[in-house]
């Protein structure tokens, strides 16, 4: 067996082990944060502190400005998209094959931006409907 192929195999194994470790650490961290939030709420209930929706959202980190965040992300993507297209044009002077893939990526990023803005509008409408029903 060639030592180069063993080294490449070990490098690939190391990469995937690193990815697995990062995923497991993220899951563990999320579980610990949820456990901590539940413990905080349990102690507040035991102490007799009145809990309202705003306090629970503050403890659990629920985002009340999701439409604003989605709109911001969409706008950012719409500004990144032409930048990728211009990058493709400049790189095509070095390698003409680079233009079409980067234009495709620019279009994809633009569609993601429009999708995020659309989602922000839908979320805002749903929130307004929920507030009218209350």
Q: What pLDDT score does 4 carry? A: 64
pLDDT value at position 118?
96
> Both 106 and 53 in a single domain?
no
| 10 and 43 housed in the same domain | yes
Q: Are residues 57 and 95 in the same domain?
A: no
At 49 the pLDDT is: 80
pTM confidence score:
0.60
* Residue that terminates a domain, selected from 27, 46, 62: 62
Q: What angle do CA 123, 57, 45 make, to 5 degrees?
A: 150
pLDDT at 58 over 80: no
Q: How many domains does the chain have?
A: 2
pLDDT for the residue numbered 132: 86
Per-residue pLDDT, averaged over 27-44, amounts to 88
Per-residue pLDDT tens over the stretch 84-124: 999 999 999 999 999 999 999 999 999 999 999 999 999 99
> Looking at the structure, do residues 27 and 73 belong to the same domain, yes or no?
no
pLDDT at 121: 93
Q: Of the residues 13, 46, 62, which one is the last residue of a structural domain?
A: 62
- Token representation of residue 45: 């209930």
What is the Cα gyration radius of the chain? 24
Same domain, 128 and 77: yes
d(CA 36, CA 44): 12
State the residue range of the domain holding 110: 64-134
Q: What is the pLDDT of residue 26?
A: 92
């Amino acid at each position: 067996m060639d030592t180069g192929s063993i080294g490449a195999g070990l490098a690939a194994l190391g990469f995937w082990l690193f990815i697995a470790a990062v995923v497991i650490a993220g899951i563990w961290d999320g579980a610990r944060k949820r456990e901590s939030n539940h413990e905080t709420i349990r102690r507040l209930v035991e102490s007799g502190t009145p809990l309202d929706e705003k306090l629970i959202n503050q403890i659990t980190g629920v985002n009340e400005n999701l439409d604003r965040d989605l709109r911001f992300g969409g706008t950012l993507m719409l500004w990144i998209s032409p930048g990728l297209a211009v990058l493709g044009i400049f790189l095509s002077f070095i390698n003409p094959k680079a233009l079409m893939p980067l234009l495709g990526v620019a279009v994809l990023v633009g569609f993601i931006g429009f999708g995020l803005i659309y989602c922000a509008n839908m979320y805002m409408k749903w929130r307004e409907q929920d507030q009218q029903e209350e």
